Structure 1
């Protein structure tokens, strides 16, 4: 199933993101269901970025477990194996998107701005292969940035929990 078919099948209520969506679009569940602290940091950063002529768009935010599962199946189909797909898409049990703790930022200008200024807000890129994926790490505000993993397969949080498929 293509990405557009997945979005149509599950829709906005499950976390699909129509284009364009800003971090201020409260009517979109992918934005509205983000962790409140993450959303607050994103909005503060977006306000300051706007002063520099940069607008933040969300390509992915909160997702339902069903939507995450569909994205994972799509990635396995695209990349040819579960192992390769795991470099790009987490399981519903391990995904920071399902818990509302991750956001994918669109447009290269916004990603460049966050790369330079995001730590001031606790917003950190977590995976080297996903320059769009940001999570809240408040300790980064004081200069204690978290490790950046090569990809999700190197992140200990992505290991399947015992008893899970």
Structure 2
């Protein structure tokens, strides 16, 4: 038996082993990537846990708000705190996907897109998706903002949503514009 006849076979075997190892590594890396994609931050789309304030920069729902809106909120929240009022953010910026989820849930709850849109705008028209709206929790904070918010340019936009505020910079001089009945009636 000639030793040189085994060399090509050994090379083929080594090449196969290397290919199997590379395929295994690629599979492991792919699984790790898939796991990181499926276990991503549950707040990345804008969902918030209870008790988040306008000063909490750990959440995209806060950090992705329009910077002028966020500045006005923080200034008014500081003033409110001096009067014993705490501002809690129930919702701020939302990804289009999260906004669609909320809209779909509202359709299921209210029975139609027309009824749902009185409470939740679709992503194409939601001020939350652009970072231009915030929902403030707590009746005291809502009442305080309704009274003193215009001095900071913060205005309640909808009659049926006393928690929903948007920035209207001219409000400090001219007052807030008239409210809409609900999100469906916004022009």
Structure 1 Cα separation of the partners of residues 182 and 134 of structure 2: 16
Residue 153 of structure 1 deviates from its aligned partner by 1.4
Structure 1: 5+ residue stretches without partners? 1-7, 157-165
**Is the partner of 1:76 in helix, strand or coil?**
helix
Structure 1 Cα separation of the partners of residues 154 and 135 of structure 2: 11
- Superposed, which structure 2 residues align to 1:123-142 within 5 Å? 123-142=154-173
Structure 1 Cα separation of the partners of residues 155 and 112 of structure 2: 28
Structure 2 Cα separation of the partners of residues 112 and 47 of structure 1: 15
Matched, 1:59 2:90: yes
Please report the TM-score for the alignment, with normalisation by the length of structure 2: 0.77
For CA contacts below 8 A with separation 6 or more, give which structure has more relative contact order: 1
Structure 2 Cα separation of the partners of residues 155 and 10 of structure 1: 33
- 1:22 aligns with one of 16, 31, 53: 53
Q: For the pair shown, which has the larger CA radius of gyration, 1 or 2?
A: 2
- 2:178 aligns with one of 133, 147, 150: 147
Structure 2: 5+ residue stretches without partners? 1-38
- 2:77 aligns with one of 40, 46, 49: 46
Which residue number corresponds to residue 146 of structure 2?
115
Residue 50 of structure 1 deviates from its aligned partner by 0.4
Residue 147 of structure 1 deviates from its aligned partner by 1.8
Which structure carries more helix by proportion? 2
Q: Which moved more, 1:139-148 or 1:70-79?
A: 139-148
Size of the aligned set, in residue pairs, is 149
Residue 9 of structure 1 deviates from its aligned partner by 9.8
Please report the TM-score for the alignment, with normalisation by the length of structure 1: 0.88
Residue 154 of structure 1 deviates from its aligned partner by 1.3
Q: Which moved more, 1:8-17 or 1:141-150?
A: 8-17
